[in-house]
Structure 1
Amino acid sequence: MLSRHDPDVPDWNGLSAEEKRLYARMMEVFAGFLEHTDHYIGELINFLKEIGEYDNTLIMVISDNGASSEGGPTGSVNEGKFFNNVPENLEQNLAAIDDIGGPKYFNHYPWGWTHAGNTPFRRWKRETYRGGTSDPFILSWPQGIAARGEVRSQYCHAIDMVPTVLAALGIEPPSPTRGVSQSPIEGFSLDPCFANPAAPSLHLTQYFEMFGHRSLFHDGWRAVCPWPGTSFAESGRRFGDPISYDQLIQLDAHGWELYNLNNDFAETNNLAEAERDRLIAMIGMWYVEAGKYKVLPIDSRGTQRFAVERPQIAADRQRYIYYPGTQMVPLNAAPRVLNRPHSISVEVEVPAAGAEGVLFSMGGNDGGFAFFVQNGLLTYGYNYVAEQFFRVHSSGPIPAGHHIVSFEFTPTGPADVANGKGTPAKVVLFVDGQPVGEGNLPVTIPLSLGLAAGVAVGSDPGSPALPDYQPPFAYGGKIKRALVDVTGTPIADQEEKLREILARQ
C-alpha cells in the first residue's frame, strides 16, 4: 500500500498553469542531471573494462538520503536560502524559469517532487520515516558475485558498506594503527547474501535521529517519533522548532508510532496501541542506542545549528595567510567572517598597463563576496543569496607598482538570523592604508555562504560570486599573498602591522 498524499504537498490539479510549468521544469532539470550522472558512471565502468579491472571491482552505488526537501512548497532558485532562513519567492522562481538548470542558479525542486521521488514511502530527507532514510543500493562485482539482476531483502545500512568491502578483501580491521587505538567499525558485512538470497539479516537493530525526529528499526519493526509532527500542516510547527523537556516527556509517552515492515512496507498502519509492550521496549532500545552512539541530548534546532562552531584540529586563529595558485579552501576550514568585523588585505604588484581580475573570493553563485579589480576600479561585491547584489567601488584606479589593497567590513546593526538577515555593514576600501571608497550593505548572509564554495586567492573558480564577470576572472597582475584578519582592528590602525605580518610569510 502506498503512503497517503502528504498534507504539506499541494494537489497538482489545484496549481496554476504557471506553477505547473515551473515545477515541471524543475523536475526536468533534476532528471537531466541524473542522466548526466548516469553517463559519467558509465564512463567510469567503461574505463575499468578497458584496463581489465571491471570484473574484479566491487562497485556500490547509493544515494545519500531520501529525496531532498530543501526546496520547500514552491521550489527554489537558490537552495542556499533554506540554509539561511530566507523565505522563498514564487514570483522570483517564475521569472528565472528560462535559466533554471544553467550556471546562474543553485536550484531545487518543490515538495511535490520530493514526495513523488520517495514513493511509496512517506515524508522526506531531514526526517526518519522511511522516506527520509531509505535509498536504492546497487552492488556489482562480476568476479565475486555470481548473481545477476537479483534483489536482496536483508536489512542494510550505510555503515554496512565498509565491513562488506573488508570481507570481500579478506581483511580484518586493525584495532591499533601506529599505536593509536581505533574506534570499532560498526555495521555488518553483506557478503553472506551474495550467494544466498535467503541468508538471515545480520543487522537487526539500527537507530535514527535527525533534528529531533527519531526512529528505530529492530528485526522487521520500526518505531517512529516524528518531530515537529507527522506534517507541518497537522502539527502547526515548523522545521527547527525546539523540543522542551515537557514536550519530550509527552512525546515519549504518546508520540511514538509502530509499524510492522514485514506486511507494511510503507509505514501506513500504526500499531502503537495494539503492540504497546513492543513499542515501549523499542523506545527503551532507542535510548540505549542513542546513549551508546552519543546522540544525546536530543537537539531539534534546524538551521540554527549551522552557526554553532565545531571543534577544529587546528588552534583558533585571528589572522590567516593565503597564497595564489592553490586549491580552493572549503568553507568549513575557512575563517568565520559572517556577522563579525573583519578585513582582507592583498599584496599585489600592479603592472604599468594595469590589470583586472579577482583578488580574493569567498562563496559562489548562491551567496558570497568577491574583492576584485574591473574597469580599473577596486571593487567589493556582495551576493545576498542570489537575490540582491551590492557593490562598493574605489574613487579611482590603483596606481602601478607594489601595493596592499584592503577592504574593511564593519557591522552597523544586529543580525536577524531567524528571518534570514545577517548584520548590515559598512565596507571601506583601502590602498596602502588610505581609504579610497566606501558603501553600505543593508543586509548580509546570516548563517552560510555558498554551499559548494570556498576561499580562493587570485580568481573566482567554479560558479562565480558575482555576475559581473565570467569565471575564473583571474587577476592579471601579480599577487604575493592575502591576509584575512578577524580581530576587528581597523585598517587605519594596522597599516604597518599589515606590512610586518605579510613580510614574515
Structure 2
Amino acid sequence: MTTASEPGHVGTTYADSRPWWPEPPRPPEGSPDIILVVLDDVGFGTLGCYGSEIATPAIDALAGNGLRYTNFHVTPLCSPTRASLLTGRNHHSVGMSLLSNADSGFPSKRGTITPHAATVAEVLKDNGYSTACYGKWHLAPLDQTSSVGPFDQWPLARGFERYYGFLEGISDQFYPELVQDNQRVEPPKTPEEGYHLTEDLVDHAIDFVSDQKSSAPDKPYFLYLALGTAHTPHQAPREYLERVRGRYDQGWDEVRAARHAEQLRAGVIPPGTDLAPRNDSVVPWDELPADDRRVMARMQEAFAAMVEHTDDQLARLFAHLERLGTRENTMIVLMSDNGASQEGGRDGTVNTIAYENGDSVTTAQNLAGLDEIGGPRNHSNYPWGWAQAANTPLKRYKQNTHAGGVRAPLVVSWPRGITDSGLRSQFHHVIDVAPTILDLVGADMPELRHGLPQLPVHGTSLRYTFGGADETTRRGTQYFEMYGHRAIWHEGWKAVAYHERGTSYDDDVWELYHLDEDFSECHNLAAQHPEVLQNLIGRWWSEAARYDVFPLDDRNFAERAARYHSASSPRRRRSYRYYPGMTRVPGGITPLIYDRSFTIEAAVDMTAGDEGVLVAHGDVCGGHVLYVRNGQLHYEYNHQGTRYHVAGPLHGSPERLAMRFTKTGQLCGKASLWCDDSEIGVGTIASTARFMIGWQGLTIGRDSLSPVSWDYPRGFAFTGALRHLDFTLADDGPFDVHEVID
C-alpha cells in the first residue's frame, strides 16, 4: 500500500497504482523577466542619456525610470566582454583572452568559454527560466561555425533554447549570414524589400515574448538581445541617413565640446571633469582639407543614423511589453561591450577589410564611395576623431585599457524592483552583471554542473546599488589586459600602460590616475605618487597570475586567425571539395589562399547559354568569384575595392572550368583561366589580401548575399549542373597550413 508521504506507486495494474508527476524547476514567485541588450562599439558619450545629440528617446526613457551607471567598465573587446557578461568571470580565466576567431594554443586563449564556467543562461534554464538569444554570438571559434559544427560552443549548447542571429563578430546589416538554432539560413527579405538586420532581430524578440506570454505566462524568461549596432559596417535605412544629413558638418571638436558640456550639466560626469586632449594623430577639424571633412562628416552621419534606427527598434520592443502588461516586472539591462572603435583609422574607411589587413584607404577611395556610405554597397567605419567624440570625455579607444576602451554606458530599468531612479557612480565591471541577475532570481552559480567543477564567480552583484546612490562600492580591485595594454583599478586609483605592438613590455610606461578625482584620466600622478604606482603595478602582476592572463600576446587577431588553428580545424587542409546543396561556408573555414598559389576547378555539365556563379567568396569589401556569363569564363578578384578581372571564351560543352593563381611575388600573382585542357585567358592580380579577403563566407553555384562583383544580377545562380568544385592550395605561402606555427 502507498502512504500519503510517498510521491506515487507503480503496481500491477492501474487500479493498485498511484500516478505522480515530477515537479519542474520553478524560480521564486514574482521573479522578473530579464532582457539583456548589448550594443556594440558604443562609446560612453554616444547615447542621448549620456550627453549626446544622437536621438535615443527609447533608451533615454529607460534610463529616466531606472538607473544610469557612470562608473561601469567592460573589457576592451567584444568576445571577452561577452564571455565575462554571460559567466560572471574574468575573460582570461574562461578562455577568451581575445576574440573567439582562433585558438592560439594556450588555456586563456582558446576562443571558447570553458565548460567549467557555466553561463547565466545555463543556470537560469536549470532554475526554470525560458531562454533565447538573438543577434551577435561571437563566442565560438570561427572554424567551428560551419553547418556541421561542432556545436558545443553555439548558443543552444550554452544555455539558450532558441537562437537567431550571426555567429561571427561582424555582420553586414543588409546581407547578414544568419543562423537559426543550429542551421544556417538566408535572410527573409532583400534590402530592396526593406530588410535590415536590427529590425529582423527585434521582430524575433517580439515574437519570442509573445510566444512566452501566450503559452507559459507564469514562466519567466531570459532574453539576450545582442545587436550589431554600432559595430562597423555602419548601415541604416535611407530615411535615417537623410534625417541626419549635414548634422556633423561642424566636426568632431565642436561635437565633443558640446557633449562634454551636456554631460557636466546632466551630472553624467562629476563637476570639474576635464575633456581629455585629442588622442594621438587626431587632427583638429578645422585643419583638415575640405574633401576630408566632407567624407568624414558623412561617416559620422552613418554611425548616428544606425544608432537612431536601433533606438526606434528597441522602442517597438518596449512598447510591446507595455501592450502585454509585463513591463512592470521586466528588468531591462542595456550596455555596450566596449568603447568606440579605432578600427576606422585616422581617415576613416569605406572598406573595413583594409584595416584587418593592415592597409589604409585613401581619401580619394573614400570619396569615390561617398554617396554609398551607410547603404548596402560599402562598409564604412568612422575615423579616430569621431571615435574619440563617441567616448567623450575620455581618451583612447576600443582595444585600449584607458577609459575610452573600458568605461561604457550601463542602463538598468526594473519598475517593480527599482524605485529610486537616477545616476549611480559605484565602480563596477561586466563580470558583475551575471551575479546581479542570479541574485535577483535567488539562484546560485553551481559548484558542480554536469559533473564538472565550476570556477568561482569573480563578480559582485549590483543589487545593493538599486536602493540608493550613496552606497559605497563593494568592488575593491579589477585588472584589465588586451593586446598587451594593461591596467588595474584599486580603491579609486588606476594604473594603466599603453603598449606599442611588437615592442618590449619592459618599455611600456605606466601612468597613474586618481579616478575618484579625475574621471577622464587627464592628470597623470605617476611622478607625484611613485609608491602608489609601484604598488598597483605589483598588484596587476599578481592579479594577472591569479586570473590566467599569461602569456601576453600583442599580435593582430587577423594574423592569428589566419595562422593558428587547432589540430581538428578544417583550415589545416590543402585541398577542399565542395558539393551542390551545401550551405554557406563561413569565412573562418574558407581555404587559406592568402599569399600562395592555388587552383579552383569546377566539374560541370553545361551547354551553350548556361551561365552563373560557380564559386563566390567574400563581399563588397573584398573577395573573389569565378563565374560564366555571355559565353565567357570570368574571374574577378576584389582586393579591398580594387577589382582585377580576367575573362576568356568558352568552347564546346566544357566538363572542367578552372582558375589557376600563380604567386609571382609577395601578395601578387597571375590568374589563368582554363576550359578543359585549354588556357583561355590570363591576367595579373597586382595586389591580394594578406590575412583576410572578406568578412562574408563562401558559396558555390550562386552569390546570394553581399555581392563580390557588380557585373552580374543578384544571386546569379549557375544554370548548368555543377557536380563539385575543388580548391587546391600550393605550399609556397608564408606558412604551412598543415603545421601549428611556433
1:3 shift after superposition: 1.2
Checking the alignment, whether the CA contact within 8 Å between 2:651 and 2:675 is kept in structure 1 is: no
Q: Distance in 2 between matches of 1:256 and 1:439?
A: 52
Checking the alignment, whether the CA contact within 8 Å between 2:341 and 2:397 is kept in structure 1 is: yes
Q: Which deviations, in whole Å up to 9, do the C-alpha atoms of 1:20-69 show, x marking residues without a partner?
A: 22221111111111112222222333444455554444433222321111
Question: Where do 1:126-165 residues align within 5 Å?
Answer: 126-148=399-421, 150-165=422-437
Checking the alignment, whether the CA contact within 8 Å between 2:485 and 2:499 is kept in structure 1 is: yes
- 2:340 maps to which residue? 67
Checking the alignment, whether the CA contact within 8 Å between 1:376 and 1:398 is kept in structure 2 is: no
- 1:222 maps to which residue? 494
SS at match of 2:626: strand
- 2:660 maps to which residue? 408
1:265 shift after superposition: 0.3
Checking the alignment, whether the CA contact within 8 Å between 2:621 and 2:694 is kept in structure 1 is: yes
SS at match of 1:284: helix
Q: Which deviations, in whole Å up to 9, do the C-alpha atoms of 1:397-438 show, x marking residues without a partner?
A: 5737xx34333333222x2xxxxxxx2122233445654433
2:545 corresponds to which of 278, 291, 296: 291
Q: Which amino acid aligns with 2:433?
A: M
Checking the alignment, whether the CA contact within 8 Å between 2:605 and 2:653 is kept in structure 1 is: no
Q: Which amino acid aligns with 2:414?
A: W
Unmatched runs of 5 consecutive residues or more in structure 1: 229-239, 416-422, 490-505
1:278 shift after superposition: 1.6
- 2:684 maps to which residue? 440
SS at match of 2:534: helix
SS at match of 2:541: helix
SS at match of 2:405: helix
1:222 shift after superposition: 0.9
Q: Which amino acid aligns with 2:643?
A: F
2:587 corresponds to which of 331, 337, 342: 331
- 2:152 maps to which residue? none
Alignment pair present for 1:426 and 2:670 = yes
Q: Which amino acid aligns with 1:30?
A: F
- 1:269 maps to which residue? 523
Q: Which deviations, in whole Å up to 9, do the C-alpha atoms of 1:141-162 show, x marking residues without a partner?
A: 34444444x2222222223333
SS at match of 2:646: strand
1:183 shift after superposition: 4.3
Q: Which amino acid aligns with 1:113?
A: W
Seen in structure 2, the aligned counterparts of structure 1 residues 321 and 167 have a Cα distance that, compared at 3 Å, is: farther
What TM-score results when the alignment is normalised by the length of structure 1?
A: 0.82
- 1:309 maps to which residue? 564
Q: Which amino acid aligns with 2:620?
A: N
Q: Distance in 2 between matches of 1:215 and 1:70?
A: 21
1:472 corresponds to which of 712, 715, 718: 715
Alignment pair present for 1:482 and 2:717 = no
1:18 shift after superposition: 2.7
Q: Which amino acid aligns with 1:291?
A: A
- 1:11 maps to which residue? 284
SS at match of 1:43: helix
1:305 shift after superposition: 4.4
Checking the alignment, whether the CA contact within 8 Å between 2:612 and 2:701 is kept in structure 1 is: yes
1:179 shift after superposition: 2.9
What TM-score results when the alignment is normalised by the length of structure 2?
A: 0.57
Checking the alignment, whether the CA contact within 8 Å between 2:609 and 2:630 is kept in structure 1 is: no
Q: Distance in 2 between matches of 1:299 and 1:129?
A: 18
Structure 1 stretch displaced more, 41-50 or 274-283: 41-50
Q: Which deviations, in whole Å up to 9, do the C-alpha atoms of 1:197-220 show, x marking residues without a partner?
A: 344433332222222221111222
Q: Distance in 1 between matches of 2:647 and 2:698?
A: 21
Q: Which has the higher contact order (CA 8 A, sep 6+)?
A: 2
SS at match of 1:91: helix
- 2:628 maps to which residue? 373
1:250 shift after superposition: 4.1
2:485 corresponds to which of 207, 213, 225: 213
- Aligned-pair identity in percent equals 37
SS at match of 1:332: helix
Checking the alignment, whether the CA contact within 8 Å between 2:596 and 2:730 is kept in structure 1 is: no
- 2:512 maps to which residue? 258
Unmatched runs of 5 consecutive residues or more in structure 2: 1-273, 733-742
User: C-alpha root-mean-square deviation of aligned residues, in Å?
Assistant: 2.7
Question: Where do 1:3-82 residues align within 5 Å?
Answer: 3-50=276-323, 53-82=326-355
Checking the alignment, whether the CA contact within 8 Å between 1:80 and 1:448 is kept in structure 2 is: yes
Seen in structure 2, the aligned counterparts of structure 1 residues 194 and 486 have a Cα distance that, compared at 3 Å, is: farther
